Structure 1
Amino acid sequence: MNSTLRTFKILILAVAVVAILIVVNQKYSSSLLHEIKRDNKLTVITRNSPTTYYIGPNGPTGFEYELAKQFADFLGVELNIIVKNEFHQILPSIVNNDAHIGAAGITHTKQRDAYVNFGPEYTKVVSQIAYKSGQKKPKSIVDLEGKRIAVVKGSSHAQMLLDHKEFFPNLEWKEYPDLTSEELMLLTTDSLIDYTIADSNELAVTRRYFPKLRVGFNLGPEQPLAWALRKSEDDSLQKAVNNFFVKIESDGSLTHLREKYFGHINDITPVDSHTFLKHVRERLPKYENLFKEAAIEYDQDWRFLAAVSYQESLWNSNAVSPTSVKGLMMLTRDTANDLNIKDRVDPHKSVNGGTKYFLSMHEKIPARIGEPDRTWMALAAYNVGFGHLEDARILTQNAGDDPDQWMAVRKYLPLLSNKKWYEKTRHGYARGKEPVIYVQNIRNYFDLLVWLENKGELYDMVAQN
């Protein structure tokens, strides 16, 4: 009897365990993360902007795009991008389950907590008032009353204005569903509106394109940017997002990505941008075909070659420096001799010679160094010499930093002008700050040329400005 009862209890326990395993397995099998892996597709919704997603020289690019691509790789699935041109459609698309993640420079606010979940913050921004230079600088909310203000519909900026209206009843504004923040900033520089509001990172990027744009004041405290996810009892995707951000924070990938897209933004002044855009209109057309021909011959991006040339000579084929470097690409006599170039001010020979010299520097950089770091280091070598670049990389390594990352090496290049440091190097003194400025400027000029070519109808408006 006891034996029979014991057997019966064991049988009941076994059935219970099997039932639990079935329930657990069914729950896992139906989880969102499992569905994404089963379908081999992560769908992310974003928007076109310089800080999120755009089509670059080699296809889709942008901070949010690359972050989403890294997450898709982390999951081992393909990335499916949906681009919405109207910001106010993005969060409803998440609520309606049209996409798994919203990655579009979305500020995490209390109001949005009511209908979506957020992943970890990956940067902070502050909302800023943008106005046109030459106008009186707005310093407080009072200065906004009675003015023509426009913001993107569905943005956190619209909510901020609504919150302030309780105390400033004369505050009025329009919300545009079909205009981007970038387009509203253009309307500001064209004096079609008085002010717009933009996130600080987007305003910093866009000011390079619209040199007349200025920052008035901050409209509130810093706010975090984060990915938006649909509210659900199924937290499998949320946990995966959290784990992903822990990984990229700890291994430095997130810091590297920030540097790639934003590390050079503040290194160009409005005056520099204004002069550059003027020269795009007046000087570039004369040499554009030369850059395009060299780009085809040497498998480069013509806008990159044009950016290097602008940094070297301001697209002046007769340029001569105090040290007697000459031409569009400012070749030294020794470099020209090595390349068998007799006439350094000949535009065709200068562009081809400069391209060959850059590629020779690029070839010398260790193959293990990935892009874009390898290109930035090759540019630094083009400017200061390969030996001095190697000295800076050794200083970087000796200090415990990564000599294969430009963001680390650029901190140590300026030390080459300090006797305490250059005495320890093989190649001695160099004006080490110059290659840092040189590289950062070229990055900005390249961004501007890509933006101008991609924007189409905006190009003429910028030129007229």
Structure 2
Amino acid sequence: MRQIIRLLTLICLGIATACNDDRTHLDRILERGELRVATRTGLTNYYEKTPGEFSGFEYELAQHFADTLGVDLNMIVPANLSEMLTMLDDGRADIAAAGLTMTPERQQKMRFGPVYHEVTQQLIYRNGAKRPRNIANLGNGQLEIIANSSHEEHLIALQKEIPDLSWIPNHDADSQELLGLIELELIDYTITDSIEFAAIQGSYPELRVAFDVSDPQPLAWGLAKGPDVSLYREVMRYFEQIEEKGFLDKLIERYYGHIRRFDYVDTRAIHRRILTHLPDYESWFMEASSVNNFDWRLLAAIAYQESHWNPTAVSSTGVKGLMMLTRATAEEMGVTDREDPYQSIMAGSAYLDEMRKRLPERIQEPDRTWLALAAYNIGLGHLEDARILTQKNGGNPDRWSDIRENLPLLAQKKWFEQTRYGYANGGEPVRYVANIRRYYDILLQHENINPIPPPVITPPEGPSQALPAAL
């Protein structure tokens, strides 16, 4: 199919440019069969989730764009931001997709695609140190930032009003490495983007936001400037299409929808238990992962949410063990001892897989997993009630972001009287899934992922199509 798409596109372009021997930028991409995208590593950009399986907001967006062109994707990770921008100019990269802030200075050097998100620059410091109140109140603290970044551009502008403002530009480190230096108390401050810090704060429980350094700023893909606008026009058309189809909203929800207020005590606790408790059960999570086709770190995140990896945990309602199985579920899954961690892990993962399989086949990932988790927590019947309410209220009954807005209605008489299974504490599965997604992020980051990008990457699933009724 990809070869057919590429061939048809080339034929169309050939007809359009028959009288002109000069190939456009888009022509060259289609002829070589590869889109080259410069990016950065990290959960919000590009990382290796499991060996050979890549993920990240920018990666999925770029992969989907490559699919629409009928070409392969080559993700390139330059040594630093300066090299990334240079790669656009010399043609080694077609697009820079790395959470780039659209600034007036950068607009003079490159062409930006449509805005797809926005961020605020924030000053980060370490818990226990004196919190600065504004950018002019850093005292003798050492501020280190990424060289040639939008953060440095903003500081240069501020320096006109605050002549004493100073910083150290780092040409080698990325945001995550600078945050690590603050955690180790090797520097005092850095500046990072709000969504990036919110996504990775779980890995740096001692770090805090002191204040916003800037107003909200737009994010967009960067392209080389010049008279050739063929690729730019294709990017503009692509973003218009994914906005209309809801693919962009779905992707934003997948990566940022679960980010909530930072819980310092809880985050410190999971970091301790990753070292003290997780090693005892890690091999069993991996075994359950291979049997039931879940990422083992997701299973570990579920177990942490359920019991904090305590195999003898018991709740007030009588659920018990590492995966907090009810007596009925344990019997159904053949468990003879709910406090046996191996039995609990294998049964819990098998039961979650059963919830996933019982959902309508049309529901795509990752919504399918989030819905299965909600069913694991509240029951498949109550989840189906929430899906029907979601559809009645004009939402998508197969999309987690819509269902989680309607689940709390199951606790309101006006709504649960309309359902088959009646009252339920619908807010609980919303918190449950959000917590698991946050713990999962922490476990992913704990692997200290540093991917080596391959030249060709298998494409992910495409956007959702029109959906039939929930039932």
Q: Same fold (TM over 0.5)?
A: yes
Whether the 8 Å CA contact 2:303–2:322 is kept in 1: the answer is yes
1:231 partnered with 2:225: yes
1:326 partnered with 2:320: yes
* Mapping for residues 238-317 of structure 1, pairs under 5 Å: 238-266=232-260, 268-317=262-311
Alpha-carbon distance change, 157 to 242 in structure 1, aligned in 2, over 3 angstroms: same
Measure the CA separation in 1 of the matches of 2:16 and 2:383: 61
Counterpart residue identity of residue 269, structure 2: T
Match of 1:360 in 2: 354
Match of 1:337 in 2: 331
Match of 2:23 in 1: 30
Q: Highest Rg: 1 or 2?
A: 1
Measure the CA separation in 1 of the matches of 2:352 and 2:58: 30
Whether the 8 Å CA contact 2:46–2:56 is kept in 1: the answer is yes
Equivalent of 1:40 in 4, 27, 33 = 33
Moved over 6 A (4+): none
TM-score, normalised via structure 1 length: 0.91
* Mapping for residues 334-413 of structure 1, pairs under 5 Å: 334-413=328-407
Gaps (5+ residues) in structure 1?
Answer: 1-20, 457-465
Identity fraction in percent: 46
Whether the 8 Å CA contact 1:147–1:172 is kept in 2: the answer is no
Measure the CA separation in 1 of the matches of 2:262 and 2:15: 61
Whether the 8 Å CA contact 2:62–2:97 is kept in 1: the answer is yes
* Residue aligned with 2:179, SS: helix
Measure the CA separation in 1 of the matches of 2:417 and 2:448: 47
Whether the 8 Å CA contact 2:200–2:442 is kept in 1: the answer is no
Match of 1:158 in 2: 152
Measure the CA separation in 2 of the matches of 1:89 and 1:132: 30
Residue 124 of structure 1: CA displacement?
Answer: 0.7
Counterpart residue identity of residue 130, structure 1: I
Q: Give the aligned length.
A: 436
Counterpart residue identity of residue 200, structure 1: S
Equivalent of 1:218 in 208, 212, 215 = 212
Match of 1:108 in 2: 102
1:198 partnered with 2:202: no
Alpha-carbon distance change, 376 to 80 in structure 1, aligned in 2, over 3 angstroms: same
Measure the CA separation in 1 of the matches of 2:278 and 2:323: 14
Measure the CA separation in 1 of the matches of 2:17 and 2:330: 71
In angstroms, what is the RMSD of aligned CA positions?
1.6
Match of 1:462 in 2: none
Measure the CA separation in 1 of the matches of 2:119 and 2:56: 17
Measure the CA separation in 2 of the matches of 1:360 and 1:283: 27
Q: Cα deviations across residues 197-220 of structure 1 (Å, max 9, x unaligned)?
A: 001111111211101111111112
Match of 1:10 in 2: none
Measure the CA separation in 1 of the matches of 2:136 and 2:32: 53
Equivalent of 2:44 in 38, 41, 51 = 51
TM-score, normalised via structure 2 length: 0.90
* Mapping for residues 5-24 of structure 1, pairs under 5 Å: 24=17
Whether the 8 Å CA contact 1:268–1:444 is kept in 2: the answer is no
Gaps (5+ residues) in structure 2?
Answer: 1-13, 451-471
Equivalent of 2:165 in 154, 167, 171 = 171
Match of 2:448 in 1: 454
Q: Cα deviations across residues 285-327 of structure 1 (Å, max 9, x unaligned)?
A: 1211221222223333211111111111100000000000000
Whether the 8 Å CA contact 1:146–1:170 is kept in 2: the answer is no
Whether the 8 Å CA contact 1:248–1:254 is kept in 2: the answer is yes
Residue 23 of structure 1: CA displacement?
Answer: 9.2
Q: Cα deviations across residues 75-108 of structure 1 (Å, max 9, x unaligned)?
A: 1211111112312211111011111100011111
Select the structure with the greater relative contact order (CA < 8 A; seq sep ≥ 6): 2
* Residue aligned with 1:144, SS: coil
Answer with 36-45 or 139-148: which moved more: 139-148
Measure the CA separation in 1 of the matches of 2:374 and 2:16: 60
Measure the CA separation in 1 of the matches of 2:17 and 2:362: 44
Whether the 8 Å CA contact 2:302–2:436 is kept in 1: the answer is yes
Alpha-carbon distance change, 423 to 28 in structure 1, aligned in 2, over 3 angstroms: farther
Measure the CA separation in 2 of the matches of 1:243 and 1:23: 18
Residue 444 of structure 1: CA displacement?
Answer: 1.2
Measure the CA separation in 2 of the matches of 1:240 and 1:145: 48
Measure the CA separation in 1 of the matches of 2:38 and 2:303: 37
Measure the CA separation in 2 of the matches of 1:122 and 1:339: 45
Counterpart residue identity of residue 128, structure 2: G
Residue 455 of structure 1: CA displacement?
Answer: 4.1
Whether the 8 Å CA contact 1:207–1:270 is kept in 2: the answer is no
Measure the CA separation in 2 of the matches of 1:310 and 1:320: 14
Equivalent of 1:83 in 70, 73, 77 = 77
* Residue aligned with 1:44, SS: strand
1:132 partnered with 2:87: no
Residue 338 of structure 1: CA displacement?
Answer: 1.1
Match of 2:65 in 1: 71
